[in-house]
Amino acid sequence: MNILDKIVIDKRKEVALRKELIPTNQLEASVLFDRDTFSLAHNLRNSKSGIIAEHKRRSPSKSVINQSLNVQDVAKGYENAGVCGMSVLTDGKYFGGSLDDLLLARASCKLPLLRKEFIIDDYQILEAKAYGADIILLIAAILSKEDIKQFSELAKSLDLEVLLEVHNEEELHKSIMPSLDMLGVNNRNLKTFEVSLETSKSLSTLIPDDFVKVSESGISSVSAITALQPYGYKGFLIGENFMKTDNPGVSASGFINELENN
């Protein structure tokens, strides 16, 4: 069993427990449920850098990345740096995140916020909206075509954008549908954790131009981004590169300046 299978088993149990505690009508009564959302797709289309910066404390592949920062400072720092959006990990067991991180990020900045989560249930999409997200992540590797359709259409009905993540051609083919906004290619092989930018390059021609193309994982240098831009990528999700520093905002700012002056 690979790490993704383990995460999904735990996630099903966790969501079942959460549903017992907080009914959907309580989520829908959240003060944030009716807010107008911010568009990440729009920001990426109109940006020279296309950086989506992440708040991530740890990961299964790297264990601890940074446990000492608070999410408010990270969000404000990223906003000041001029990133296009912020990804917030909300998985507790494997990534050390929480929905409170999303809530605090929302209170601290006006950036489009992506709820980075292993979504396997409609309930999590309502949670995303209730806690201030603008975008949800759907991972093709753990979802059927029917799931992707159901979840993406629910998200659109709630005025949330959808970033769908694929790892290979097979996942891409089952996933393409009009209810998606962005297609992300994850350069990390989830079975081996090896990272290769060739994954983004090889899949780029198969992604229709209606979708904003996003490359994820293994992007730690300006040269990686300039290598991917000719393949039509507009968005670049950077997870560990900024978070492993003492000041992710300053780190992101320097990175974006270098990229835009390149």
pLDDT at 161: 98
Q: How confident is the model at residue 194 (pLDDT cuts 50, 70, 90)?
A: confident
Report how far residue 219's alpha carbon sits from residue 180's, in angstroms, rounded to the nearest whole number: 23
Report whether 133 contacts 33 (CB < 8 A). no
pLDDT at 78: 98
- Which one from 56, 129, 213, 234 is the annotated catalytic residue? 56
- Which one from 186, 187, 200, 253 is the annotated catalytic residue? 186
Could you tell me which residues come within 8 angstroms of residue 221 by beta carbon, excluding any fewer than 6 positions away?
A: none
pLDDT at 118: 98
117 a catalytic residue: no
Percent of the chain surpassing pLDDT 70: 98
- Which one from 117, 127, 165, 240 is the annotated catalytic residue? 165
Q: Please, what is the average pLDDT of the chain?
A: 95
Report how far residue 190's alpha carbon sits from residue 23's, in angstroms, rounded to the nearest whole number: 33
The whole-model pTM stands at 0.96
Cα 52 from chain centroid (whole Å)? 8
pLDDT at 239: 82
pLDDT at 68: 74
pLDDT in tens, 195-221: 999 999 999 999 999 999 999 998 999
Hey, is 100 helix, strand or coil? helix
Q: How confident is the model at residue 262 (pLDDT cuts 50, 70, 90)?
A: confident
161 a catalytic residue: no
CATH of range 3-260; options 3.30.70.20, 1.10.3080.10, 3.20.20.70, 1.10.287.110: 3.20.20.70
- Of the candidates 8, 179, 28, the one whose C-alpha atom is nearest the C-alpha of residue 91 is 8
Instruction: Give mean pLDDT, residues 26-46.
Output: 98
